[in-house]
Amino acid sequence: MTELNPFVAIRRELHLIPEIGLEEYKTHDYLLNKINALPQEHLEIKTWKTAIVVRVKGSEGEKTIGWRTDIDGLPVSEETDLPFKSTHEGRMHACGHDMHMSIALGLLTHFSQHPGKNDLVILFQPAEENECGGKLVYDHGLLDEWMPQEFYALHVQPELPVGTIGTRAGTLFAGTCRIKADFTGKSGHAAYPHESNDMIVAASQFVSQLQTIVSRSVNPVEGAVITIGTFNAGTTENIISGNASLTGTIRTLTPEMSEHMIERVQQVAAGIEASYQCKIELSLVQGGYLPVVNAEKETTEFIEFMNHHSAVDLVISPTAMIGEDFGYLLNKVPGTMFWLGVDSPYGLHHPKMSPKEEAIPFAIQQVGAFLEMKLAK
């Protein structure tokens, strides 16, 4: 029987205990136990809430290279038949952050025993999915004393085969803005609609009109997306609902397009208020989910390095409309994010998403080699 790779085993243990952002208490304790079990001679550790940052001190420490991994799960009920499926009801590592953490622990394990000339900082960051943990950690100052001069991170990609790494210089992922809208009208009996003010109708029109923003208010050669993900209204079949609420997201590739989209959503809401004589409490929150913009110099160097390794199939990836709060850190520190192929028939955030675990030792080896090069310079 083939012995299980220790970092694959770690991934399975983490997969059992997914937790929502800023509530990753078991995950935090698990990671700290693994980190504290490593040789400590070259390590320094700091924590804040559920975040952990570890510095591996180099022999000279003239420069600091950063590696970031996210640690939170999603509010998804797992539908796999894995023997290590989530034990937390309604929670799942459906975005692959369990893979990310096991790779980071593999890198840390290696460099704790084989430090380079320069310092390495590994950030185990909470709340990527829901609270822009990258911004929280940065703004709190957790990285201040150990601020990297370059920052790197990966994200698993189910659509790419194991052995493939994909990235590009410039914008890799979109910036995002949350939409929340609460509608207030007047409820009443279904038989007397003229005495009521139906918020299901008003909110439905709002959703329909939002879909025309991209098709009629955005240059076709530019990118933008509006998606409404939740719509809640009503209590029973014979009562006209006087309230409705919805949430959604805007995805754009530039700050200018984000401002344009926000302005158009506000205009649509004002029009619905006037047309349906209702009140809409509209919240549009950009937070720190900025576009992930890979620095030209660092990304070119990364691509050239990976292209010289026969085990790696390096592809230039198209820009994707997903959001990632690593964009906030790349707005402060130059660096690169890239896709890691994990070859799953189910995509990110799907309840059956099951990445191939061979990607873990592959990533530890290839990323480890790249970081060794950076730490030796």
- Is 313 annotated in the active site? no
Interatomic CA distance for residues 282 and 270, integer angstroms: 10
Residues near 95 by Cβ (< 8 Å), separated by ≥ 6? 73, 74, 129, 156, 348, 349, 353
Interatomic CA distance for residues 196 and 213, integer angstroms: 29
Neighbour tally for 200: CB within 10 Å: 17
Pairing of strands 119-125, 239-240: unpaired
Catalytic residue (choose from 24, 70, 298, 325): 70
**Whose structure tokens read 């991994």?**
69
**What token pair was written down for 81?**
């038949």
Residue type, 204: S
Closest CA to 341 of 173, 102, 164: 164
- Is 70 annotated in the active site? yes
Closest CA to 138 of 147, 151, 150, 129: 147
Contact between residue 367 and residue 314 where contact means Cβ atoms under 8 Å apart: no
Catalytic residue (choose from 129, 198, 298, 324): 129
Residue 101 host element (H or E): helix 97-113
Q: Under the phi-then-psi rule, with left for phi > 0, alpha for psi from -120 to 50, and beta for the rest, what region is 339?
A: beta
Interatomic CA distance for residues 176 and 252, integer angstroms: 6
The residues annotated as belonging to the active site are: 70, 129
